[in-house]
Structure 1
């Protein structure tokens, strides 16, 4: 009986991907504290639930209309199911990442009619740095691109299917609308527009549009209706604020985080371990004569480069905006892997193939061998990891490194890819719990402790308008913290009694002429710095002196 290679045994593809999903997006996803973006998003979701403002989002009591509400609705429902559960909030982003990769797998299958290619490309994507990061944090970027990947999948089917299949066009329209409700036009510009341009470049002649124009128009109409209904509602009921936000967001694209046009030259680094392989895909004269599906390879490469081009045109640039480039990058790298897998059956007879494969592979082997050293320097030597766990991880990493070296030397590309998957699994299963201790204050005293103080909870929280309020403190305190002019006696008297959150002692902020009529009861001083005192990132804005301000009781 002939043995079927694992890559062609399609019934194992989904179970393998599910295992990879668990490691990449879910295991130990609560190990690291909530960052500023997560804090903003979860605060908005909380206020949706507890203030019942589902259509008009607020953050710390103020309108937050900059971002469409769909991801916040998901976070709010999660808050209703399990309040204050950061791992579950992050798991929702993980499910969005799972949806993205599944649509990606289905798209890759349809693109080449090759499930081995789809599996390999999906594994590359799941082990790319930025995908893992966005799938493990409660931020909204992953949602819009996940929905847009679904839209692209259905749009591709609709354009390639003859005769016209209305369900594909309708599906594409629905997912486009959901993407817009996820983060506005971001994914339309960064993912869909480059895809359409690349598609026209390579497939326009073989695409029959006869009988599809009405369905295409319906798709666009569905997308527009789903995309704009919330904006229309906000404009009708909060016209002034909506206009302000629109102009602010528009100007931020040209005035905020402005970088040079070549800022994204390091785009390949966003793939993490696959950085060198991403650069290797750019050797077009070499690969287009070798890969099995040269047109599909050129299409994926063009899609990737067009994303880079369009993002470079925008004045505002951030590295996280490069997330969509990972999708065509993984597809392009998939073509190289499939070629190497096919050539490996013949031991890669051409020297150039062996050299390129081994250069890429051996560099990753060196990185894997460096991991035990990094563990010793940053974890074991600093007392963050015990001897038993350190020895166990060294054995695991060295075992995987030997696996990778053997796969590189013996010209076994799929085995090498599975070694990379194993390397990430070890890191996510065993190292991730220690990452939080690496980025943490050894003597933490969070303002979240105020939640347990029954004397504070019924009172409103305020801070001085002359001091910076970090949104992370609002997240930790689980309370709205309004701003107050502490030199305005009338404003203070009107708010009594209240809790004052301040970096400086309350006595130094309230003038003597006002303070003589008040009773200031100091509760405690909290420190929400994630870094220890003396570290360059330690900042006084995370210091919180908590004081109850109340009228003087008559004797």
Structure 2
């Protein structure tokens, strides 16, 4: 099995990522970030807003449109309201990033098997996968710039100027900017270029200076045309949004400088190997390609330091660090595969036994733990329970066996199969946590609107998840602390419990409010007030 996987690395990678991400792509509940992006995609299709992007009919220029375009095209092909269709482009970008990781590793003069394992580490890292359900646009920005860096690295390393490589690098850099602005330039490219200078020294760079300058000019043109167009097509909205977004960098979600220094935890399965791979004095003596290891080591650390300088910090902003971290972790895994059977020092062997032994223990204990988690829902998820339990139990047992035999190569691939089994068999079980009996889809409101011949408005902005589920636009009529009354004699109104008294007072003199229904989009037991709205029928007296 392992020989077959390593013989066809790209096919193997394609199958693994497809099984992990595509089979149950529509199962996870939609998140607030996804809802924002998918609403913009849907409105592109419905309203033909392909350049001046919108959300709920309002300008949304916070993010460039390339991922929205790709998502909208997928929606046109497979259904504009299909979560599978809308998540598909981002999932394919994970596979694309895995391909780039493989080829980039080869450029670092690593073996095919080492390069394949690097790509597997990347696509199974926790936040590379997890970010798909939180902020899909990040994977586009970082995946495209990684491809651009591959061609740029090739340009730097070749002895002659290669205009084709410069052009392709510029195209992918431009695509990255059209995905999330200059974010990846700061988080991925700048750390790359600094670490490249430290390790590879920009040898023979003079003859490549003109192609490199041309690359910069071209990617700036490709990546900034949308910003320039929107700036002049809708200057007022663009400047207001730009001012708000730049202000967030220093005033919103501010965290201390050291907030990111547990970044290796974001790699999930690879947390301990990733940490040990960062112990430079230890690993530099044990790797074969010392220059490549130094390069990925500095790339990782510099990326974390640069991200730490920005006051606004979120866990998902660490995703670009996982690219060089996967490459760096691969050196440690390669060392273990070759040398672990001969290691005698407990300081070297105990972390390995602990890391993979913990994964094996989880697999062995999983059937018992899952049985109690399912509780009353056991019969409903019986097939998933049996398949997941058998897969993880078997993997856990074989992993213990391979550790006893000191066969880290088998242990590594069993870890991949562990992750794969959870996605293939276990993801549907996540629905067991959807236990809110009060859940009421706001999409059903359209039937009432049609029956009464009314249009619905909102007091305050409605959350993206509700707008997505509603499948329409809900105009906010309460702006600048005053109500802007619709012209209709009768209309629907969505308000929160907290604002009812105030709104009722303002409407009381001229309008009558009749409570109709509560819409609650909380799928789990934990109740978030932002996902609850009361619906009233408002009539002029």
Distance in 1 separating the partners of 2:415 and 2:31: 28
* TM-score, length of structure 2 as denominator length: 0.92
Alpha-carbon distance, 1:13 to partner = 1.0
Residue pair 1:499, 1:548 contacting (<8 A) in 2 also: yes
Aligned partner of 1:180 in structure 2 is 177
Distance in 1 separating the partners of 2:305 and 2:379: 43
Indicate how the Cα distance of structure 1 residues 292 and 488 shifts in structure 2: closer, same or farther if over 3 A, else same. Answer: closer
Distance in 1 separating the partners of 2:369 and 2:276: 27
Which of 325, 330, 333 pairs up with 1:334?
330
Aligned partner of 2:253 in structure 1 is 257
Indicate how the Cα distance of structure 1 residues 217 and 435 shifts in structure 2: closer, same or farther if over 3 A, else same. Answer: same
Residues 1:303 and 2:299 are matched in the alignment: yes
Trace 1:31-430 onto structure 2 (pairs within 5 A): 31-81=27-77, 82-135=79-132, 139-204=136-201, 207-343=203-339, 347-351=341-345, 353-380=348-375, 383=378, 386-387=381-382, 389-430=384-425
Across the aligned residues of Structure 1 and Structure 2, the Cα RMSD in angstroms comes to: 2.8
Aligned partner of 1:484 in structure 2 is 477
Of stretches 422-431 and 483-492 in structure 1, the one that deviates more from structure 2 is: 483-492
Indicate how the Cα distance of structure 1 residues 300 and 240 shifts in structure 2: closer, same or farther if over 3 A, else same. Answer: same
Residues 1:542 and 2:511 are matched in the alignment: no
Aligned partner of 1:24 in structure 2 is 20
Indicate how the Cα distance of structure 1 residues 323 and 212 shifts in structure 2: closer, same or farther if over 3 A, else same. Answer: same
Residue pair 1:103, 1:150 contacting (<8 A) in 2 also: yes
Indicate how the Cα distance of structure 1 residues 76 and 22 shifts in structure 2: closer, same or farther if over 3 A, else same. Answer: same
Distance in 2 separating the partners of 1:11 and 1:451: 55
Aligned partner of 1:529 in structure 2 is 522
2:485 aligns to what SS in structure 1? Answer: helix
Alpha-carbon distance, 1:507 to partner = 8.6
1:368 aligns to what SS in structure 2? Answer: helix
Distance in 2 separating the partners of 1:55 and 1:487: 28
Indicate how the Cα distance of structure 1 residues 355 and 76 shifts in structure 2: closer, same or farther if over 3 A, else same. Answer: same
Residues 1:498 and 2:514 are matched in the alignment: no
Alpha-carbon distance, 1:440 to partner = 4.4
Aligned partner of 1:437 in structure 2 is 432
Alpha-carbon distance, 1:414 to partner = 1.7
Alpha-carbon distance, 1:108 to partner = 0.7
Residue pair 2:377, 2:432 contacting (<8 A) in 1 also: no
Indicate how the Cα distance of structure 1 residues 285 and 401 shifts in structure 2: closer, same or farther if over 3 A, else same. Answer: same
Distance in 1 separating the partners of 2:2 and 2:530: 58
Alpha-carbon distance, 1:505 to partner = 11
Alpha-carbon distance, 1:366 to partner = 2.9
Alpha-carbon distance, 1:357 to partner = 3.3
Distance in 2 separating the partners of 1:336 and 1:134: 25
Residue pair 1:96, 1:135 contacting (<8 A) in 2 also: no
Alpha-carbon distance, 1:275 to partner = 0.8
Alpha-carbon distance, 1:487 to partner = 13
1:500 aligns to what SS in structure 2? Answer: strand
Q: Structure 1 unaligned segments of length 5 or more: list them.
A: none
Distance in 2 separating the partners of 1:313 and 1:68: 24
Indicate how the Cα distance of structure 1 residues 271 and 511 shifts in structure 2: closer, same or farther if over 3 A, else same. Answer: closer
Residue pair 1:92, 1:138 contacting (<8 A) in 2 also: no
Residue pair 1:194, 1:306 contacting (<8 A) in 2 also: yes
Indicate how the Cα distance of structure 1 residues 229 and 271 shifts in structure 2: closer, same or farther if over 3 A, else same. Answer: same
Residue pair 1:70, 1:181 contacting (<8 A) in 2 also: yes
Alpha-carbon distance, 1:379 to partner = 2.2
Alpha-carbon distance, 1:38 to partner = 0.8
Distance in 2 separating the partners of 1:419 and 1:464: 53
Alpha-carbon distance, 1:378 to partner = 2.1
Q: Structure 2 unaligned segments of length 5 or more: list them.
A: none
Residue pair 2:34, 2:136 contacting (<8 A) in 1 also: yes
Q: Deviations over 1:81-115 (max 9, x none)?
A: 31201121111110111111111111011112411
Distance in 2 separating the partners of 1:64 and 1:389: 41
Distance in 2 separating the partners of 1:489 and 1:230: 35
Distance in 1 separating the partners of 2:32 and 2:452: 24
Question: Number of matched residues?
Answer: 539
1:455 aligns to what SS in structure 2? Answer: helix
Alpha-carbon distance, 1:444 to partner = 2.1
* TM-score, length of structure 1 as denominator length: 0.90
Q: Deviations over 1:132-160 (max 9, x none)?
A: 11245562111100101111111011111
Residue pair 1:91, 1:136 contacting (<8 A) in 2 also: no
Q: Deviations over 1:466-500 (max 9, x none)?
A: xx632221111112111224999994351444321
